[in-house]
Amino acid sequence: MTSGSGKLYIYEINTWVWLHELSQQYQRPVTLSDVPDEALDALAELNIDYIWMMGVWKRSEYARLNALKYKHEYVAALPDIEDEDVIGSAYSIAAYEVEPRIGGREGLAQFRQKLRERGLKLILDFVPNHIAIDHPWVDEHPDFIVQGSAKDARSRPGDFFRHQTSDQRAMIFAHGRDPYFPGWSDTAQLNVFNPELREALLETLLDVASQCDGVRCDMAMLVMNEIFRNTWNGYVADPPETDFWPFMIPQVKARYSEFIMIAEVYWGREYDMLQQGFDFTYDKTLYDRIMEVDVQKVHAHLTAPIEFQQHMVRFIENHDEPRAHDRLGPARSLPAATLICTLPGACLLHHGQLTGAQVKLPVQIRRGPIETQREDLRQHYLKLLQETHTPIYRLGEWRLFELAPVAKDDITVYNLLAYGWRLDGEYRLIVVNLTSITSYARLPLKGWEEVAGHDWILHDIDDGSTYVRRGSEMITPALLLEPNLFKAHFFRFQRKD
């Protein structure tokens, strides 16, 4: 399985938390308009492509008051939490205006320009499914919101709420939700079948696109005609002929041709989202299989066509998931990091992930605790990011290898993954063991038969060790692999002769 399948890196930053950290570090209030050059240079030195500033939009005052009711639940993440630390959910958006307290629209523009000067691009959030309860549309355009009855408000209080509009009309509106959980109590559900709403959302997205280089679309599958109709059957009219994203994306791309669209998507709907115009989608399947340590299911997932894989966003944490270092543990974090950073497609990294942060922060708070930083993990990521910034990962061909057991009854081969990159006589071979068992395998480099004519020095980029191998012996009887527990070997091939 080969094809050009270049790498792309996205680095997620919780905007409010990061600015608070910088304010503490520099002993002055820091906003997007005046982020210190040293902090921006540190981002550029990571060798990443996009910075995703999560949570820049104006948050709902209702959502803040609602979140204060749950302040006791945030103590686990921030033991010394105060009321002022609770700012409301980043996904209960009162307006697509950059919050003035963090720099406003002008501050974001200044920040974006500084990123550009360092070769970095900017990603922001777009939430198509719902808005905050106190968003102006709730009063000004109640027809934009899914409406219910008094009976719904009584029998389904988790999904519907009563609201008196500014012109004194008593209305029953739906909370934003997905079909498997109760509604999000600080949101109102948009009726994406309403043509006028679609036009308003398009205008909003075009304005967002004028301020950044891409968007991460929250729960993107919820607004597909099929899913939305099934979720709100009986409450909305028949769907428009054109699905939501095929209506939106071409019009955005027509104005901003280099703009990228990323779908947060679940339930196996990744291919559907790509077919509807997205550039990348979350690879939640890979995430789940890594966390389950189901190596054979990971292998099966990686047999998908390369044309599909190169549009996947690989990750082992983000703001919705537990911290990788906490869930995987210190040992397994290392090979998991190697895996997501060296597979084709995009790789999503999260602020704090590189230093082993363990506390998952609620998106309703503005600061996090001070945590011990894990230097060995940081160095591991820095090596990966420096290595994978080279052309072979951007322009080369990727191949998944099939392993063979070293003995008939040795099943440890099933603990290993092996794959590689090739470009113009250069080779990289990655072998990953996510398990706690030292494992063995033989690896015939099928598809790389040209290596047979030379002797090679294999440099392990991670630990610096070297191995000399005859090319013919890496084809038949095949390269012998002995990865220790929780280990990833990351070989650069150098011709010896």
122 shares its domain with 218: yes
Helix (H, G, I), strand (E, B) or coil at 479: strand
Whether the predicted pLDDT of 9 surpasses 50: yes
Torsion, Cα 73 74 75 81, to 10 degrees, reads -140
Helix (H, G, I), strand (E, B) or coil at 402: coil
C-alpha 406/C-alpha 192 separation (Å) is 57
Q: Does residue 2 belong to any structural domain of this protein?
A: no
Helix (H, G, I), strand (E, B) or coil at 431: strand
- What kind and span of H or E run contains 457? strand 455-460
How far are the Cα atoms of 61, 70, 168, 336 from residue 313, in angstroms, in the given order?
A: 33, 32, 46, 14
In 272-425, the DSSP E strands lie at 280-282, 312-314, 345-350, 397-400, 416-423
120 shares its domain with 152: no
Q: Give the distance, in angstroms, between the CA of residue 92 and the centroid of all CA atoms in the same chain.
A: 19
Q: Does residue 294 belong to any structural domain of this protein?
A: yes
Per-residue pLDDT, averaged over 344-358, amounts to 97
Q: Is the separation of the CB atoms in 10 and 124 below 8 Å? A: no
Whether the predicted pLDDT of 212 surpasses 60: yes
Torsion, Cα 311 316 318 320, to 10 degrees, reads 100
User: How large a percentage of the chain has pLDDT more than 70?
Assistant: 99
409 shares its domain with 466: yes
Q: What is the pTM of this model?
A: 0.96
C-alpha 66/C-alpha 97 separation (Å) is 21
Note the helical H segments in 167-242.
195-209, 225-231
Amino acid at the residue 86 = V
212 shares its domain with 87: yes
84 shares its domain with 158: no
Whether the predicted pLDDT of 437 surpasses 50: yes
| pLDDT value at residue 497 | 73
Torsion, Cα 402 403 404 406, to 10 degrees, reads 170
Helix (H, G, I), strand (E, B) or coil at 448: coil
Whether the predicted pLDDT of 309 surpasses 70: yes
C-alpha 161/C-alpha 148 separation (Å) is 9
Sign of CA pseudo-dihedral 150, 154, 155, 157: positive
Domain boundary among 355, 371, 394: 394
- What kind and span of H or E run contains 307? helix 306-309
pLDDT digits (tens, 9 = 90+) for 139-189: 999 999 999 999 999 999 999 999 988 888 899 999 999 999 999 999 999
374 shares its domain with 490: no
Q: Does residue 423 belong to any structural domain of this protein?
A: yes
Tell me what the pLDDT averaged over the chain comes to: 95
Domain boundary among 373, 394, 415: 394
Query: Can you read off the two tokens belonging to residue 69?
Result: 């009711």
Q: Is the separation of the CB atoms in 191 and 163 below 8 Å? A: no
Q: Does residue 1 belong to any structural domain of this protein?
A: no
Whether the predicted pLDDT of 1 surpasses 70: no
Query: Can you read off the two tokens belonging to residue 320?
Result: 């919705």
359 shares its domain with 338: yes
Whether the predicted pLDDT of 211 surpasses 50: yes
| pLDDT value at residue 168 | 83
Domain range enclosing 474: 401-495
- Contact partners, residue 124, CB within 8 Å, separation at least 6: 52, 53, 56, 57, 208, 211, 212, 214, 215, 216
244 shares its domain with 255: yes
Query: Can you read off the two tokens belonging to residue 433?
Result: 């063991």
Reported as a pLDDT band with limits 50, 70 and 90, residue 6 is low
123 shares its domain with 248: yes
267 shares its domain with 304: yes
Please state whether beta strands 187-189 and 479-481 pair in parallel, antiparallel, or not at all (unpaired): unpaired
C-alpha 429/C-alpha 469 separation (Å) is 13
Give the count of domains, the chain. 3
Whether the predicted pLDDT of 5 surpasses 80: no
Please state whether beta strands 57-59 and 130-132 pair in parallel, antiparallel, or not at all (unpaired): unpaired
Per-residue pLDDT, averaged over 341-349, amounts to 97
266 shares its domain with 347: yes
Lowest-pLDDT range of 215-224, 312-321, 357-366, 487-496? 487-496
Whether the predicted pLDDT of 379 surpasses 80: yes
Other beta carbons less than 10 A from residue 444's beta carbon: 17
Q: What CATH number is given to the structural domain containing 95? A: 3.20.20.80
Per-residue pLDDT, averaged over 394-408, amounts to 94
- Contact partners, residue 414, CB within 8 Å, separation at least 6: 295, 296
C-alpha 203/C-alpha 45 separation (Å) is 35
What DSSP assignment string belongs to 97-148?
EE-GGGTHHHHHHHHHHHHHHTT-EEEEEE--SEEETTSHHHHH-GGGB-B-
Q: What CATH number is given to the structural domain containing 454? A: 2.60.40.1180
Q: Does residue 326 belong to any structural domain of this protein?
A: yes
Q: Does residue 55 belong to any structural domain of this protein?
A: yes
pLDDT digits (tens, 9 = 90+) for 49-94: 999 999 999 999 999 999 999 999 999 999 999 999 999 999 999 9
- What kind and span of H or E run contains 164? strand 160-164
Looking at the DSSP assignment, which residues form a beta bridge with residue 280? 262
C-alpha 467/C-alpha 493 separation (Å) is 10
Please state whether beta strands 187-189 and 170-174 pair in parallel, antiparallel, or not at all (unpaired): unpaired
| pLDDT value at residue 164 | 87
Whether the predicted pLDDT of 100 surpasses 90: yes
180 shares its domain with 318: no
Domain boundary among 372, 394, 416: 394
How far are the Cα atoms of 192, 322, 461 from residue 338, in angstroms, in the given order?
A: 40, 19, 11
C-alpha 296/C-alpha 373 separation (Å) is 32
